[in-house]
Homo-oligomer: A and B are copies of this chain.
């Protein structure tokens, strides 16, 4: 039976510029046996091209159609929804603007014109941008965001991610942002499973290092969730999390062997 695999990138396939040991071989093994493989990241400050180049440089054969980021998810979502005359305000970096533009979505900086405001991680975020987005919301624009991540790991620590932009906006409006498109959004899961993998969710696996995004999305959408311990999550964090992976493995290397059939040979969620 053909299976679909959604792999998270940073912490799962690579860490910074270092491929996780065995990642290349594991992915090749899955493809060789006929399974479909895609890559999904919440990060909104890189283009899909940059990810394709990076993966290829690390030895993983990949096409543009195999890489999905939260910018693409937002662009897809909006392209199905905007009507004649609708324009979109973007608080985010150039790759997000480029992805929307590539999909033919009209961009505006004018708070009186915007039907939607998209919030993405923006390292040039300012009060002026916040206020512009806030005024657009006051004028009736719908608020979307690329991804809910609070922080992004960087060398030596972490820095605020899109969660901070969402927080700033919610702090001003007193309302939740209408829709956050990246993991763990069920819309993201639906789009990838139905339109890219084209398989029933019960034939799909999500492999990632984050409980509240990767594992949660997999569980919520009826996929099989696999936690790898090469990223941000340590075994000890499992006990206190609401989001329990179906499988816990040391690294991506073990994915082919535990997914030879849908009766698990894995250890299952760790006890204690």
Contact = CB atoms under 8 A, between A and B. Distances in A.
B157 A165 contact: no
Contacts of A126: 124-127
Contact of A160 (B124, B160, B163, B172): B172
A130 B171 contact: no
13 contacts: A127-B164, A130-B160, A131-B159, A134-B151, A134-B160, A160-B171, A160-B172, A163-B172, A163-B174, A167-B167, A167-B168, A167-B171, A170-B171
Contacts of A151: 134, 172
Interface string A161-183: 10111111111111000000000
Contact of A169 (B138, B167, B172): B167
Contact of A134 (B134, B159, B172): B159
Among A126, A160, A165, chain B packs the most CB atoms within 10 A around the CB of A160
Interface residues of A, number: 30
A131 to B, nearest CB: 5
A122 interface: yes
Main SS at interface, chain A? helix
Given A124-B127, A163-B171, A165-B168, 17 more contacts: A125-B126, A125-B130, A127-B164, A130-B164, A131-B160, A134-B160, A134-B164, A138-B157, A160-B168, A160-B171, A163-B174, A167-B168, A167-B169, A167-B170, A167-B172, A170-B171, A171-B171
Contacts of A138: 157-158
A245 to B, nearest CB: 21
A137 to B, nearest CB: 10
Nearest to A138: B157
B127 A160 contact: yes
Q: 6 tightest CB-CB pairs across the interface, nearest first?
A: A167-B171, A168-B168, A160-B172, A167-B167, A125-B127, A164-B172
